[in-house]
Amino acid sequence: MGRIPVSGGVGVTLDAFLNPEVWMLIGAGSAVGYLFGILPGLDGLIALALFAPVGLYLKADVAFYFFAAMLGAATFAGSVPAILFSIPGTPFSLVTTFDGFTMSRQGRAMEALAISAVASALGAFISVGFLILSLPAARQIVMLFGPAEKFWLVLCAFVIVPFLGGADWLKGLVSVTLGVVLASIGRSVVTGQFRYTFGTTYLGGGLGIIPFLAIGVFAISVILRMMSTPQQAIAVSAAKLERRQMWTGALYVLRRPVALIRGSLIGAVVGAIPGLGGVTASFLSYLAARASSKTPEKFGKGNPDGVLAPESANNAVQGGAAITSLLLGIPGSLEWAVVLGIMVMYGIMPGPALLTEYPDVVWGIIWGIAISNAIASSIGLLAGAQLARLTAIKPLYIVPIVFITCMVGAYLINNSVWDCMIALIGGLLGYFIHKMDYGHLPFAMGFILGPYIETNFYLAFQVGYHRFSGFFTSPASIILIISCIAIVALGPRLRRRLMRDVSK
Amino acid sequence: MEKKWIARLLSGIVPVSVLTALPLLIAFTQPAQAAETFPSKSIKFTICGSAGDAFDSVGRAISPTLAKKLGVSVLPVDIKGPMNVDFFNAIREAAPDGHTLGFVGGWEWLYYLVKPGGPLKFDVATLPLVLAMTTYPDCVFLSAKSKLGIKTAQELMSCKLPIRVADYSGLTPGAVALKIVSKDKGFDLRPVVLNSFSEANMATIRGDVDILTATPSGTLLKYVRSGDYSPLFVWGKERFVNLPNTPCSRELGISQDLEGVMLRRLFPVPPGVPKDRIAKLSEGIKATLTDPGVVAWAKKAEQPLTYETAEECTERMASLGEFYRKRSADFQEFLK
């Protein structure tokens, strides 16, 4: 592997930023990314795939600013509908709905948007800093996590969730399990067997995260709640939507540097581990924020930390994913798979030594992500006051609009009516999960992380020559196992403390 | 009175007449136009892939050039579904007018030849092939982190320890071929099932698997240069120009039936498409693959790009299907 420059590509980047074409491309990429991010069913991945051929008309040294901007802007933009209407624009924003939407309903939409915007921008910059500083040791960091380590990491997340759930830890456990079971529908990658498909082709592909979870369980369930309990209208006084909220939100992030850095680092590290991705990062960041909070009982009830944590993490993921993608040529996320594919189209072969062979391109991508996040966040802040006013629209009008948006979003994924049906079923399930206080968080975690834990369990078993000893060999595995045991041992105490705080 | 009559005419009779006449007009004029020129409208380019995967990237990369060569727009659409069923059904059910062109991996195709039935309700061989995009035969790479203590292909075949090979698709071509060789030569090859080629690469770099079999593209050659991978041998009757010191399978005395282990990208069309239209599509794809821009791209990617004609690839897929069907008992654990 060639020598890796750790200067941050300052010279290369300054040259690029003196070029007006670069700024135009960042602006255009941000606009496209914003549009794709804000619409449910579309995301940065689809934007990249659709616009890849367009990029071929651009020069390689500037084209990647366009793509990086698209990627960065889509991640932030997905949070806007998540906060305003509980519709995650992209799966990355699922966790933001927990507290973001509640803040909206409390008339604090502008504050939540500001927290999201500032945390997103700073999270992206922190992850770029992490990327630059970790370059010399990046390969070793990436190599730390194999299938056994990923299995234990996800197990840690699973065991902590019931202890942080709602009123009843048993309900939290049931909710996680239900999520895992529903995620197992479809064809097993490991055995090739079809599970719970009832002979249908559609279910062979499983219940998709976007139609079932993001649109169904999260968005449509909110519509059902609004329909069943009219007094819970989103409507708030327009007077409350003052610009003051914007500054309150922005300053809140700046006053919480530890929370911001923690979320960003979780995002960057998880992003660097191929296969985990932004949704996992935002879940882990949310859990970490909740576990370390003095007022964990306020999470899910409009706590600004519940927006800060996932937003800083999900935007930092791209910086982390850049490590594996740019240093090893192995995509750290699906979005990076497309970016690497675009590189191949330009005749740039990803792989070791990419950074030394094509510094213009690599630093273009890295800084493009950070700058575009800042631009998208600025748009979010500037447009926030207007966007926040949408929450003041009467539910009578907002329900049909949101419902149609959900249905169109679900249909767009595969041009399939079945996805709309699955979204409706997910909506009903989400409604009852909320009504019976089983908790959306444990359910979503089970649904998203279930396949990871299953796949990595089998993989670790196969890698270890079909023996369980492979699960206990690396230092990282041992640390994670000890963490799991500690959570189980200390969980009840943590829970008692939480309950005591609630009763107070 | 007169105004009322006019209003009734405008609001009722005229729109109904127009709505009735328009489809009839389209129905009667369209075939005449289509018979004259082909393609007469945009081509739906159905890719068996998901946004961002290798097939989607390659499909979208060649679409603009293909559009230029065919003279109409080419609209890429990703349709895959579980076990690629949705893709095959979409091609089968499309109108046989030549305006739907598929793009699928040869091994996804071969899977249903080797293991017919399952969720696919028809024989894939009934879909006519327009052409196959081919590249150089696969290479067997050894992970630098492997603890097998081997360095050459001969040592691999006489290894007494269990060897882990990356199995990253429904029917991973090189892994299946190596399994057949292991049965013939008597070494213990075990699949490690991975979700994607990216995961397989990561597992190989980490040493979670000992062997990765894949097309020796530019990216993998970089791993060879960085010392992460050692090429053991390439499938085929001759050495690969970019790996001159690596033996080929024929030199090692491996069955010649396995020399066709390579990445094939097939272009199928719905059954019933007239032969002259298949020929026209074939000419368009050939012109695309020999276009200076595409050739330059392939050269930069260190991956020679060639093609097989409709007759050649149809015959090749049939013979490969027959061979693998006969030997399927040897690689049952790979048939997921």
The label of the residue with tokens 């020999």 reads: B290
**pLDDT over 90 at A192, yes or no:** no
Say which range, A46-55, A263-272, B200-209, has the weakest mean pLDDT: A46-55
Element (H, E) at A479: helix A475-503
pLDDT grade, residue A9 (50/70/90)? low
Interface check B49 vs A, CB under 8 A: no
Say yes or no: B73 and B89 in one domain.
yes
The token duo for A60 is 């390689």
Q: Cα angle vertex A91, ends A85, A97, to 5°?
A: 35
Nearest residue in chain A measured CA to CA from B194: A459
Q: Please report residues of B whose CB lies closer than 8 A to that of A192.
A: 335-336
3-state helix, strand, coil in chain A (%, to 5): 80, 0, 20
Is B192:B166 a contact under the CB 8 Å cutoff?
Answer: yes
A255 DSSP 8-state letter: T
- Of B61, B335, B336, which has the smallest distance from its Cβ to A53's Cβ? B61
Dihedral of CA atoms B27, B29, B31, B35 in degrees, nearest 10, equals -170
Of B107, B93, B39, residue with least CA distance to B70: B39
Residue B17 lies in a domain: no
Residues, chain A, total? 504
Same domain, B161 and B251: yes
DSSP state of A393: S
Distance separating the N- and C-terminal Cα atoms of chain A: 58
User: In chain B, what residues touch A348 (CB-CB under 8 Å)?
Assistant: 300
**Radius of gyration (C-alpha) of chain B in whole angstroms:** 25
Tell me what pLDDT residue B1 has. 46
Give the nearest partner residue to B297 out of A48, A342, A347, using CB atoms: A347
Q: Where are the beta strands (DSSP E) in B112-196?
A: 129-137, 139-143, 163-167, 189-193
* Helix A96-105, helix A109-134: angle, nearest 10: 150
d(CA B299, CA B6): 70
Instruction: Assess whether pLDDT exceeds 80 at residue A298.
Output: yes
Among candidate residues B105, B110, B100, B107, the one with its CA nearest the CA of residue B77: B100
For A110-162, the DSSP string reads: HHHHHHHHHHHHHHHHHHHHHHHHHGGGHHHHHHH--HHHHHHHHHHHHHHHH
Q: Is the model's pLDDT at A330 over the cut of 70? A: yes
- Nearest 10 degrees: Cα torsion A194, A195, A199, A201: -60
In a domain, B183, yes or no: yes
User: Hey, how many other C-beta atoms are within 10 angstroms of the C-beta on A374?
Assistant: 21
Q: Does B7 fall in a domain?
A: no
Please report the pLDDT score of residue A403 as a whole number: 87
pLDDT tops 80 at residue A190: no
Computed over every residue of chain A, the mean pLDDT equals 80
* Same domain, yes or no: B145 and B255: yes
| B6 domain residue, yes or no | no
- Within 10 angstroms of residue B291's Cβ, the number of other Cβ atoms is 16
Residue-level pLDDT at A6: 46
Rounded CA gap, A485 and B157, in Å?
Answer: 44
Using a CB-CB cut-off of 8 Å, the residues of chain A touching B219 are 329, 344, 349-351
Count CB neighbours of A303 within 10 A.
Answer: 21
Q: Write out pLDDT tens, residues A435-459.
A: 888 888 888 888 888 888 888 999 9
Q: Is the domain of B315 the same as that of B228? A: no
Tokens in use for B199? 């995961």
Smallest CA–CA separation between A142 and chain B, in Å?
Answer: 9
> What's the Cα-to-Cα distance from A454 to each of A194, A449, A474, rounded to whole Å?
15, 9, 20
Asked if residue B243 belongs to a domain, the reply is yes
* Count of domains for chain B: 2
Q: What is the pLDDT of residue A1?
A: 40
CB A44 within 8 A of CB A37: yes
Co-location of B54 and B88 in the same domain = yes
Contacts of B294 in chain A (CB under 8 A): none
Q: Could you tell me the CATH number of the domain that includes residue B217?
A: 3.40.190.10
Task: Check whether residue B122 and residue B183 sit in a common domain.
Answer: no
CB contact under 8 A, A187 and B223: no
* Both structure tokens of B336: 């997921």
Cβ of A337 within 8 Å of Cβ of B228? The answer is no
Q: How far is CA B48 from CA B87, B107, B320, in A?
A: 6, 12, 21
To test the contact with chain A by mutation, choose from B57, B62, B86, B189 the residue with the greatest count of A C-beta atoms within 10 A, namely B57
DSSP for B58-89 reads HHHHHHHHHHHHHTS-EEEEE---GGGHHHHH
Residue B234's SS3 state is strand
> Average pLDDT of A247-254?
90
Per-residue model confidence (pLDDT) at position A33: 85
**Does B35 fall in a domain?**
no
The pLDDT tens digits of the residues spanning A56-80 come to 678 877 888 888 888 878 888 888 8
Cis peptide before B231 (omega within 30 of 0): no
At what angle are helices A60-77 and A359-389 packed, to 10 degrees?
Answer: 30
> What's the pLDDT band for A461 if we cut at 50, 70, 90?
very high
B206 vs A205: CB contact, 8 Å cut-off?
no
Summarize the confidence of residues A304-309 as an average pLDDT: 94
Per-window interface: A 329-348 vs B, CB < 8 A: 329-331, 334-335, 337-338, 341-342, 344-345, 347-348
Give the residue numbers spanning the domain of B247: 139-260
Q: Which residue of A has its CA nearest to B298?
A: A347
Q: How far is CA A63 from CA A43, A365, A382, A399, B120, in A?
A: 20, 9, 27, 40, 41
Secondary structure (3-state) at B101: strand
Could you say which of B260, B281, B305 is where a domain stops? B260
- Give the orientation angle of helix A277-292 with respect to helix A440-463, to 10 degrees: 120
Any domain includes B38: no
**If you ran DSSP here, which 8-state letter would residue A462 be given?**
H
Integer Cα distance of B82 and A410 in angstroms: 18
Pull the structure tokens for residue B329. Answer: 């008992």
* Nearest CA distance, A365 vs chain B (angstrom): 17
Specify whether B101 is located in the same domain as B116.
Answer: yes
Please give the share of chain A, as a percent, with pLDDT higher than 90. 16
The answer to whether A193 and A464 are in contact (CB under 8 A) is no
Same domain, B89 and B173: no
Q: Is A502 on the interface with B (CB under 8 A)?
A: no
Statement to judge: residues B145 and B121 lie in one domain: no
pLDDT 10s digits, B151-197: 999 999 999 999 999 998 777 888 999 999 999 999 999 999 887 78
* Domain end residue (candidates: B260, B292, B307): B260
Q: What is the pLDDT of residue B33?
A: 45
CATH number for the domain that contains residue B121: 3.40.190.150
B127 and B270 housed in the same domain: yes
d(CA A71, CA A54): 15
Model ipTM? 0.72
Count of beta carbons in the 10 Å neighbourhood of residue A488: 12
Return the percentage of chain A with pLDDT > 70, whole number: 87
Query: Does any CB of chain B come closer than 8 Å to the CB of residue A417?
Result: no
* A115 close to B (CB below 8 A): no
pLDDT recorded at residue A264: 93
Instruction: Quote the CA–CA distance of B4 and B12 in Å, as a whole number.
Output: 12
Q: Average pLDDT, stretch A375-399?
A: 72
Cα–Cα dist B92/B79, whole Å? 13
Share of chain B above pLDDT 90, in %: 49
Which residue among B260, B287, B311 closes a domain?
B260
Residue B297 counted as domain residue: yes
Same domain, B244 and B294: no
User: Is the domain of B128 the same as that of B153?
Assistant: no
In this predicted structure, the answer to whether residue A5 has a pLDDT above a threshold of 50 is no
Residue of A nearest to B203 (CA): A146
| Residue A500 pLDDT exceeds 50 | yes
**pLDDT for position B150:** 93
> CA torsion angle for B113, B117, B118, B119 (degrees, to 10)?
90
Q: Give the C-alpha separation, A454 to B178, whole Å.
A: 27
The gap from C-alpha B222 to its chain's centroid, in whole angstroms, comes to 24
Does the beta-carbon distance from A352 to B82 stay under 8 Å? no
Residues in chain B predicted with pLDDT less than 70, given as ranges, are: 1-36, 51-52, 117, 336
